[in-house]
Amino acid sequence: MANHDGMAATPTLCRNSCGFFGRPDQRDLCSKCFRELMKTEATSQGTPIVPEAPNVPTLQPAVTPPEPTIKEPVVAAPVVKKSDRHRCSVCRKKLRLAQQFECMCQETFCGEHRYADSHSCSFDYMKRHQERLRKDNPEVIAAKLDKI
């Protein structure tokens, strides 16, 4: 670092004695202490720190916005809880790849809770079984009986 006189400036330690070197343009504080100081000053003044944006002229729309209409209240979709695939959904035990069992209800379980009767499974196995039977065993109609 060089001064305006061409002489090397001696580095000064941070005023908070954190062990790092301070900079004169940051009130002889290191970057971390200076950042914390700016945050505390901003909260004490009640104004958030906003970086200065370049002056860009804002364009006004040539078309006037339409009159606001009465809108129906928006119903928020239920929040879907994202489960952690590396933990059992029942006991929250951390699972390695070989220990993970995914149920038909799209949840991951350990070896102890992998069966439908050991966790509250929301999958309808009876309906799945009935659909599979209908698909695999088509109805016998009268035309086929005559051929036999």
Per cent of the chain over pLDDT 70 is: 62
| pLDDT attached to residue 126 | 92
pLDDT average, residue stretch 1-21 = 70
When mean pLDDT is compared across 2-11, 28-37, 100-109, the lowest value belongs to 2-11
Task: Give how far the C-alpha of residue 74 lies from the chain's centroid of Cα atoms, to the nearest Å.
Answer: 23
Give residue-wise pLDDT tens across range 34-45: 889 888 888 877
| pLDDT at position 103 over 70 | yes
- Residue spans of the domains in the chain: they are 12-45, 97-147
Within 8-138, residue ranges assigned H as helices are 31-45, 125-136
| pLDDT attached to residue 17 | 82
Torsion of CA 136, 142, 143, 144, to 10 degrees: 50
Which one has a higher pLDDT value, 132 or 48?
A: 132
Using CA atoms, how far apart are residues 76 and 116, in angstroms rounded to an integer? 31
| pLDDT at position 52 over 80 | no
| pLDDT attached to residue 32 | 87
